[in-house]
Amino acid sequence: MFAEFETFIKTHTALCDDDIKLIRSRAIEKVVRRKELLLQEGEICRYKMFVSKGLVRTFCTRDDGSEHILQFSPQNSWTTDPESFDNLTPSHCNIDALERSELILWTKSDFDYLFANIPGLKAYSEKLVARNLYLVRKRVLSNISATAEEKYDEFIKNYPDVFSRVSLHMVASYLGVSLKTLSRIRQAQLIR
């Protein structure tokens, strides 16, 4: 499980083997089953998570039971509720596994320790935060200005392997469109 993370981190950083050993010493490896909750709304997010294998989603549930998917996290990606994790405050969202997944977890105190001892990890994390901020702003702009068709095309471009692994209901939730609208878009693209 950690081997996948090690390959990923060596590809995206210039960390040395000693740094990676230190990161491993603070890591918790966990296998989760499909539909297992990793974070429930109201709880404090205790872990920064790396998805070695599988698929995880972050979502919010409204009072009427409808879901709004904020993020899909396929293999080789990070996930957490950053506000809850950093500030130790109750989360406003849920995180669950959509498939059997293999995760690497770090507590806040362990990640803070790693940041203090591995400057390259802190620099990499800051780049990730900046990239995620850019992607969130891009998604917000898309949600307020793009057509449903443009949102769908962007989803396919950004998550090419996720589309076939989740229900159309989840894709519609992520895009902020109705299932009927999503079906119409898909049908129109098949005709082209």
Residue spans per domain, the chain: 2-117
Per-residue pLDDT of the chain (192 residues; tens, 9 = 90+): 899 999 999 999 999 999 999 999 999 999 999 999 999 999 999 999 999 999 999 999 998 988 999 999 999 999 999 999 999 999 999 999 999 999 999 999 999 999 999 999 999 999 999 999 999 999 999 999 999 999 999 999 988 889 889 999 999 999 999 999 999 998 887 776
Which three-class secondary structure state does DSSP give residue 137?
helix
How far, in whole angstroms, is CA 11 from its chain's centroid?
19
Residue type, 123: A
pTM (predicted TM-score): 0.92
Is 137 within 8 Å of 144 (Cβ atoms)? no
Distance separating alpha carbons of residues 17 and 182, to the nearest angstrom: 47
Residues with Cβ within 8 Å of residue 123, at least 6 apart in sequence: none
Q: Do 166 and 72 meet the contact criterion of CB atoms below 8 Å apart?
A: yes
H helices then E strands: how many in the chain? 8, 8
Asked whether 151 and 182 are in contact (CB, 8 A), the reply is: no
Residue 161, SS3? Answer: coil
Q: Which residue has the tokens 């990923």?
A: 8
Pick the CATH number of 2-117 from 1.20.1260.10, 2.60.120.10, 3.90.1010.10, 3.40.50.300: 2.60.120.10
